[in-house]
């Protein structure tokens, strides 16, 4: 592959982005970086990289942090440019009045450092399109002229609710925020906005640079789905086919981010959970939130209600 490339995993949290980041990062020509957008916040909070070391001591990130300098200032600049609130401004104003030069200098130094250390032509960035980072893929493509390809990862909103009910807020669990009020409403409105933002990115970056993928399909047939991603991303499939056919193991690297999964050094792709696509047993508030915000788009993604005659899992939607 001639030109270095960023595979950007967009969508909502709890959608399997860390799994996909680790899996793609196990390809010999790729490196999984996790939620790179939060590197500087994580470093300020003295949190740990997936390798187990604090970011300031990690063999990959310590050099990037040293090159960029004050992490608080860097985090502030990144958040201003990438937050969803400013996405219309980023699109219409193409960065006018945003600190685009400072942003480009920070991200440019960071990406150059990672490429120098890892030597892989493909970087996997799973910063997603939640509130804080919805504009990231565009900012990297437009302000740094990076070759960005977006994988829009979608998970059935009912599974997202089940995961939320089972484990609670990720950020609260990790001590970064107090438990949110009305968590199901926040989750479902966040699911809706994050997925719409990801689709919007696809429109702006162009069809060839956008691939929508359902997490369920990855769990159902990892070999077929990963082959398709590799072909689309310009990666050879040989590098990942054997592990994909055995569902693992895939080794975590130096992923940044809040998902507890990255603390496991090795993961396998588990088979899909049979009950996850129903609302049965969920609290009333969660069901209301689902119908209010998510049910329409969920059906559009091909996740029908069971009463509609079961589920259809067409490949590579």
Binding site for Zn ion (CB under 5 A): 49, 51, 58, 254
Peptide bond into 6 cis (omega under 30): no
| CB of residue 256 to Zn ion, shortest distance in Å | 9
Residue whose CB is less far from Zn ion, 61 or 103: 61
For residue 198, the minimal CB distance to Zn ion (Å) is 27
Q: CB-wise, 62 or 268, nearer to Zn ion?
A: 62
Minimum separation from the CB atom of position 253 to Zn ion (A)? 7
**Closer residue to Zn ion, CB minimum distance, 49 or 244:** 49
Nearest to 156 by CA among 251, 3, 14, 298: 298
State the minimum distance, in angstroms, from the CB of residue 269 to Zn ion: 23
- Element (H or E) spanning 152, and its range? strand 148-154
70/56 Cα distance (integer angstroms): 12
CA gap 231, 235 in Å, rounded: 6
* Residue 64 C-beta: closest distance to Zn ion, Å: 11
CA distance 124 to 5: 9
Instruction: Check: CB of residue 302 under 8 Å from CB of residue 314.
Output: yes
* Contact residues for 116 (Cβ-Cβ < 8 A; gap 6+): none
């Amino acid at each position: 592959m001639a030109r270095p490339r960023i595979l950007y995993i967009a969508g909502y949290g709890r959608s399997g982005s860390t799994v996909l980041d680790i899996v793609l990062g196990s390809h010999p020509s790729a490196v999984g970086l996790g939620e790179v957008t939060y590197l500087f916040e994580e470093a300020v909070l003295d949190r740990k990289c997936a390798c187990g070391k604090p970011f300031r001591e990690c063999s990959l990130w310590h050099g990037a942090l040293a090159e960029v300098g004050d992490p608080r200032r860097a985090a502030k600049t990144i958040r201003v440019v990438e937050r969803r609130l400013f996405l219309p401004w980023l699109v219409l104003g193409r960065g006018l009045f945003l600190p685009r030069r400072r942003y480009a200098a920070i991200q440019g130094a960071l990406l150059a450092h990672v490429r120098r250390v890892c030597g892989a032509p493909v970087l996997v960035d799973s910063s997603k399109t939640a509130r804080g980072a919805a504009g990231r893929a565009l900012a990297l493509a437009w302000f740094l002229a990076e070759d960005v390809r977006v994988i829009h990862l979608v998970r059935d909103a009912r599974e997202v609710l089940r995961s939320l009910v089972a484990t609670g807020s990720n950020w609260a669990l990790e001590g970064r925020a107090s438990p949110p009020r009305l968590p199901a409403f926040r989750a479902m409105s966040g699911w809706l906005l994050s997925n719409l933002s990801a689709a919007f990115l696809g429109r702006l970056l162009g069809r060839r640079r956008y691939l929508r993928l359902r997490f369920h399909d990855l769990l159902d047939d990892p070999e077929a789905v990963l082959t398709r991603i590799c072909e689309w991303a310009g990666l050879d499939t040989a590098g990942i086919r054997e592990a994909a056919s055995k569902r693992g193991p895939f080794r975590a690297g130096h992923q940044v981010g809040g998902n507890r999964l990255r603390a496991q050094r090795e993961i396998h792709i588990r088979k899909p959970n049979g009950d996850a696509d129903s609302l049965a047993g969920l609290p009333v508030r969660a069901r209301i939130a689902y119908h209010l915000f998510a049910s329409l788009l969920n059906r559009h993604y091909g996740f029908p209600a069971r009463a509609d005659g079961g589920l259809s899992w067409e490949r590579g939607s």
